Structure formats: C-alpha cells, structure tokens
Amino acid sequence: MNSSKIFSLEGKSLKLDNASDIEPHISNLRSNNTVEEIRLGGNTLGVEACKALADVLETKKTLQIANLDDIFTSRLLSEIPPSLSSLLTALLSLPNLHTVNLSDNAFGLNTQAPLVTFLSSHIPLRHLILKNNGLGPAAGVLIADALTTLAGKKEEARKEGKEVPNLETVICGRNRLENGSMAAWAKAFKAHSGVKEVKMVQNGIRPEGMAVLLREGLGHTRGLRVLDLQDNTFTVIGAKALADVLVGWSDLRELAIGDCLLGPRILLVAQALMEGKNLDVEVLRLQFNDIDSKGLRAFRDAAGFALPRLTRVELNGNKFSEEDPSLEDLRMVLEGRREALESEGEEVAEWGLDELDELEDESDEDEDEDEAQEKVEEETFEQEQERVLKDADEAENENVPQKQDKKVDELAERLRKTEL
C-alpha cells in the first residue's frame, strides 16, 4: 500500500490524554483525504484524546483498515467505555471500513457495550480481530450475539439490493470464552456461513463446548479456508465432532489443532482427511498432542494419498521417535511436493516439518492410559453435555437482563437430546 494511504503512530509509546496532546500527532491525518489504513497500536489514549481523534476519523470516508490494538494501557476501567464509544461511533459512519483490530485492549464484561453496539451494526465489516481482550464467557456471549445480529442486518441490506460483503475473518483468541459462550458462537458462525478464516486459540474450550462449536456452528460453513483451535481441549468428543464436519470443508487450506489433548483420537481426524474431501489442505499444525507412531503413520498415508497440496506439517512435542520410518517418509513427501509445486511456478510459503526437539518416545503404559481415559470420556459425555448447558446459562445470567432469544433456547434443548 502506498505510504500516503497509511497513517501510523504505531509503537511510539505516546501518552495522549486530551485534544491538545493528540493534535500535533494527527495534523497529517486531518489533511489526508485518501488514507486507507490507520495504525495506532502501542500508545495510550485518554477520553478527550479519543474524542478529538474520532472527530477526524469520521471524515475519512476512504478508510478501510483500523488498527486500534493496545491503545488503553494504564487507563482506568472507567475511561475505556467512553473512549471506545467515541472511536467506534466514528467508525460506524465509514462505508469502506472492512477491517477492525482491537486486540490487547482489556474489555471484559464491564466495558464491552460500545463494542457490542458497533459489531451488531457495521454492515461493511469483513475482518474482525479480537485477541487478548479478557472477555470471559459472559462478554463472549454478548460479542457472539452481536455478530449474529450483524448477519441479519447484512441479509436485510442484500434484500434491498445493496452489495454487502460476508464476514470473512473472525480472530478471537486468548479471551477465556470457555464452554459457556459456545452455543452463542455456534449460532454466530451458522449465521455467517461464508466465513473463511476462524482463529479461536487458547480460550479454555473443553470437549463438550468444542463439539457444540463444530457441529452446530462451524460445520455449517462451506468456504472455510483456515481453522485454528490450538490450545483448547478436544479429547474423543471434540475429535469425533471435528472428523464429522471436516469432510464438508472442501476449501480448507490450514488446520491448526496443536496442543489440544487429542492423543490416539487423532486417528479420527486422519481418517476423515483420507476420504479425499480436503484436497487443498496445505498446512497441518498437530504439535503437542501425544500422537504416537500409529497416528504418525496415519498422517503419512493421508499426506501421500489424500492431500496432494500438503507442504507443511508441525509435529513437535508428540510421542514417537525421531528415527520412526514414517517420519522420514513424510519428510520426503513434503520435500517432493514443494519441488513439484515450485516447478509449476507456485510459491510455497511454508514447507517441510517443524523443529522436532521435544519428541517423546511412546510406551505401552501410555497407550493403556489413553485407552482407559477414552473410555471414561465416553461414559461421562452425557454429564459433560449438561455442564456446557449449565455454563451457557450462567454466562447468560451474568449479563444485564436481555430479551430472551428463542433460537438459543431451541439450540440448548436440541443439545440436551442429541448424542454428539
């Protein structure tokens, strides 16, 4: 992008409390009528400074990307809602703004209201990035519900003959969304069935919540290209759900399920890939999952026979020897694949295996423990289903009283009657 189209104060560590503080820094923005991207991260803005900035932003009708990450460090909790409200109200008036990054700002339940208002109303939104915002399950429900409302408004605008983009990217990681918000997120993703990239890393999602997210939500998408659910918990329940919906994602390019406590259940995922319904997969991130030699062999076979574009597999931290013959076979497949693609003029961004410096050798005792654990998981699944519903109810009850959503109730009732 042309430098004149980017306005940046990124990483300057400025403490801007009021209009007079911020004015010298935004004079160039005020006079720039072709700006397409702003980068404000790594500074701290007060209430009055945000108001002054908002007055300028609302005049920038060419703006497409707003990077507002890490702009409230050291601010009082009471300062964030009015500051955020000023900025997001200004952004609502910008017809070309399609990307919003609000990562590394502490929102939580007490400061989420301006964000909910914006997300439920900004029809041009295509890419949403919310990482490390401290949402928790209660605020997570509100954010997800706002996105569901947005889907309805996008559809209404289409019926009026307007050209409306899909919501394509949702990145919401390190936000403690947990099981209590998964029914709401499933509903949001079902409503936004055109989503292409979903990253929900490190959210404390347990197996029963993962099953809800996958079966009731992401399983309804058909153009999904990137899915990153690393550092949550799958076990057999989540693995079965993923295997069932995976075959419906024919456009999938990247699947990241590292550090998800999959163990021998990873075979279910490998078997789903072997069905040949995911021919465009290029990257698999499977590290730290207690994958043994049998699981490694299954992915070697999938790579060789069912994933013709696969060039990158991450396997560090699993339970097989670095001398395992399947590992060398897989390495050779990936190397040959890269050479073939590059010979055809294609650029391969990621290829080969990752650094395998934390592998563990498997043992019979580990295998017995895995089988026993899987049996326990299956026997207690009904109790776990009830728990995710209870968590969802508690998350809803933490919110300011709202009008009951019959569709969420119907989803919860179906979950009670369905064996995942």
- Per-residue pLDDT reduced to its tens digit, 70-100: 999 999 999 999 999 999 999 999 999 999 9
CA 165, chain centre distance (Å): 19
Handedness of CA 288, 294, 299, 304 (dihedral sign): positive
How long a stretch of residues is the chain?
420
Least confident of 212-221, 298-307, 394-403: 394-403
For the segment 105-148, what is each residue's pLDDT rounded down to a tens digit? 999 888 899 999 999 999 999 999 999 999 999 999 999 999 99
pLDDT at 397 over 80: no
Handedness of CA 296, 302, 305, 309 (dihedral sign): negative
Percentage of the chain modeled with pLDDT above 90: 82
CA distances from 117 to 81, 112, 216, 286, 408 (A): 12, 9, 25, 37, 20
- The answer to whether 311 and 281 have CB atoms below 8 angstroms apart is no
Distance (Å, rounded) from C-alpha 419 to C-alpha 413? 12
**Which of 182, 181, 230, 227 minimizes the C-alpha distance to 202?**
230
Distance (Å, rounded) from C-alpha 112 to C-alpha 73? 16
Q: Look-up: residue for tokens 């920038």?
A: 60
Q: What is the dihedral of CA 172, 307, 276, 278, to 10 degrees?
A: 20
CB atoms within 10 A of CB 304: 16
Structure token digits, residue 391:
């968590």
Least confident of 170-174, 234-238, 336-340: 336-340
pLDDT at 181 over 60: yes
Distance (Å, rounded) from C-alpha 224 to C-alpha 252? 6
- The answer to whether 232 and 203 have CB atoms below 8 angstroms apart is yes
- The type of residue at 47 is V
